[in-house]
Amino acid sequence: MPVPILKQGGVLIVSVQAALTDNDLVALRDDLAEKVGRFRSHGVVIDVSALDVMDSFATRTLRGIAETTALRGAKTVVVGIQPDVAFSMTLLGLTLDGVATALDLDEGMDLLAAPIRRRGDDGA
Amino acid sequence: MAAKALPTSESLLLAGMDLTEEDIERRKAFLEFREDDVERLRGLNDVAEKYADSVIEDLYEHFLSYEETRAFFKDSATLSRVKKMQKEYFLQLTQGSYGLSYIANRIKVGLVHQRIALDVKWYLGAYNFYLRAVMDRLFEGHTKKPNGAIAVLRSLMKLVFLDISLAIQTYVRTIQQQQAAIRELSTPVLLVRPRLLMVPIIGVIDSQRAQQLTESLLGAIRINRAKVVVMDITGVAAVDSKVANHVIQTVAAARLMGADVIVTGLSADVAQSLVALGVDLSRIKSVGDLQGGLEEAERMLGYQVVPLAERPTAAQRP
């Protein structure tokens, strides 16, 4: 199932609604990389609040997306990681280093609007 | 578990100590405490009746000659009461019934001693005195056939060690309960300002508590929409690499939810030992004390705390 990518001003919003297969993730990465350039976006927000599992492949792909879009001039923020997902991710050592994170879509938009403090940059 | 009808107080006492009839039988079997031991002890009953008073008198004379044990007998009423109880116990040793009520009684006595905070060393010392006193009198009565005395003594030793194990168990049990209580002391997650949480951690961080802490912190981050968390570990007894790793994990989990964690209260010693251990703390933002941590958090959130007197007046405001 392809993931819808919405354009809101200079920001692309990806709302993940269901668990993604590895192929979906790869398709999303390619799609985003292309659209960031086409829409000349400066930011990408990926909302994963509907996910209750985040495995190593998903984590790696998210990081890949963040790095790819950064090279194309857009900052990626992953938002809406649920508390228990965050907890199990840290237990597995999947800490999404170098990727900005925010509580929810609002926060993510704020972070992109005022990129004073680039969270995630200091630790990576 | 055998579901025999027990007097409730006794079964409760045993259940509280996690003791079942089976356990007690296993203990007796381990001590090789068998029917012939019971018989031998029962045969000693007459002798015990005869010497009970003198043994008890000796024992309490011994207690009273040491400051530490004397302190437990404040007045003569207490003294005569415990002497009476001691005599009952002494006679029970040779009455040949070592069933559940005997066991429950031992536990009760152990609990009393633990409650009055009698140190184990005096408790064991008293048992030793007991055995020696009984030994002397046994050999007095058995001068003709010392082998018989030795056999009886062996039986008595088994029983006394059974009693000691039960009493010591009450001590250990209490320590375990206290540890559990400390572990269960919840770690509060406090909202200091909108979007600013504070977590004061006091006591010991083990993996179980770290997990509990992380879960409640993540929940609080979502509910309060927190952006910054100040975690104060001034009250953590010992910070080693394990504790540091727990802290690092909690920080990483909070970051996944978009919250920054500032760790405060690392003392000079702790900081030095962590560096010496080579713990990688590069991902942790750390500020010396709680005040500094809160100030930093306020800065990150765009607050500025200004004394009332220095508040800009209406004219100065843009």
Residue that terminates a domain, selected from B135, B164, B181: B181
Chain segment B155-213, per-residue pLDDT in tens: 888 988 988 888 888 888 888 888 777 766 667 889 999 999 999 988 878 788 888 88
Residue B314 confidence (pLDDT): 66
Query: DSSP per residue over A32-43, as a string?
Result: HHHHHHHTT-SE
User: Exposure of A14 by Cβ count < 10 A (0-12 exposed, 13-18 middle, 19+ buried)?
Assistant: buried
Nearest to B256 among A86, A108, A117 (CB): A86
Which residues are A102's β-sheet partners?
A79
Going by C-alpha positions, the residue among A42, A32, A122, A38 that lies closest to residue B255 is A122
CB contact, 8 Å: A48 with chain B?
no
Structural domain containing residue B64: 9-181
**Domain presence at residue B4:** no
Residues B216, B256, single domain; the answer is: yes
- Cα–Cα distances in Å, from B193 out to A75, B183, B226? 29, 28, 9
- Distance (Å, whole) CA A60 – CA A67: 11
- Is A95's CB within 8 Å of B225's CB? no
Q: Is the pLDDT of residue B46 over 60?
A: yes
Q: Which residues of A touch B222 (CB under 8 A)?
A: 82-83, 103
CATH classification of the domain holding B207: 3.30.750.24
Residues B166, B246, single domain; the answer is: no
Structural domain containing residue A81: 5-121
* Rg from Cα positions in chain A: 13
Residues B158, B259, single domain; the answer is: no
**Domain presence at residue B106:** yes
Tally of domains in chain A = 1
CATH classification of the domain holding A85: 3.30.750.24
ipTM of the complex: 0.77
Residues B167, B220, single domain; the answer is: no
CATH classification of the domain holding B98: 1.10.490.10
Residues B23, B170, single domain; the answer is: yes
Rounded to two decimals, what is the model's pTM?
Answer: 0.59
Residues B175, B99, single domain; the answer is: yes
Which residues are B286's β-sheet partners?
B263
**Domain presence at residue B285:** yes
Tally of domains in chain B = 2
Q: Per DSSP, which regions of chain B are E strands?
A: 190-193, 196-203, 228-236, 260-264, 285-287
Chain segment A47-100, per-residue pLDDT in tens: 999 988 888 899 999 999 999 998 888 999 999 999 999 999 998 888 888 899
Residues B129, B217, single domain; the answer is: no
CB contact, 8 Å: A53 with chain B?
no
